[in-house]
Amino acid sequence: MADPSLAFAAPLTAPGSGVHGLDETGLLDAWREGDALFSSPRQQLHCRGVRERLQRAADAGLADAAEYLLAHHAEASDDRIPLLGAVPFDTAVPARLWLPRQAVYASGHARHAGRPRTPAAARGMPRRVHAQPSTAGYERAVSRALERIGRGKLGKVVMSRCLRFSTRAEVAGLVAALLARDPSGYTFAVDADAGEGRRHLVGTSPELLLRKHGNRVVSNPLAGSTPRSADPDEDARRARALLVSDKDRHEHALVVDAVAAALSPWCQALHVPPAPSLVATPTLWHLSTRVEGTLVDAATSALRLALALHPTPAVCGHPTPAARALIRELEGYDRDLFTGLVGWCDTHGDGEWAVTIRCALVEPDCTTLYAGAGVVAGSCPRAELAETSAKLGTMLAALGLPPLAEDLA
**Of 67, 207, 352, 387, which is the active-site residue?**
207
Q: What is the pLDDT of residues 236-277, one digit of tens each?
A: 999 999 999 999 999 999 999 999 999 999 999 999 999 999
Which 8-state DSSP code applies to residue 348?
Answer: T
Is residue 156 among the annotated active site residues?
yes
Q: How far apart are CA 328 and CA 39, in angstroms?
A: 32
Q: What is the pLDDT of residues 284-293, one digit of tens each?
A: 999 999 999 9
Q: How far apart are CA 92 and CA 306, in angstroms?
A: 16
**194 Ramachandran zone, left/alpha/beta (phi>0; psi -120 to 50):** left
Which CATH superfamily groups domain 4-119+129-398? Anthranilate synthase (3.60.120.10)
Indicate the pLDDT class of residue 195, thresholds 50, 70 and 90.
low
**Of 33, 67, 153, 156, which is the active-site residue?**
156
Say which residue, 32 or 248, is predicted with more confidence.
248
How much is the average pLDDT of 51-73?
Answer: 94
Residue 385 CB-density burial (10 A; 0-12 exposed, 13-18 middle, 19+ buried): buried
For the whole model, what pTM was predicted? Answer: 0.90
Is residue 207 among the annotated active site residues?
yes
Give the N- to C-terminal CA distance of the chain in Å, as an integer. 53
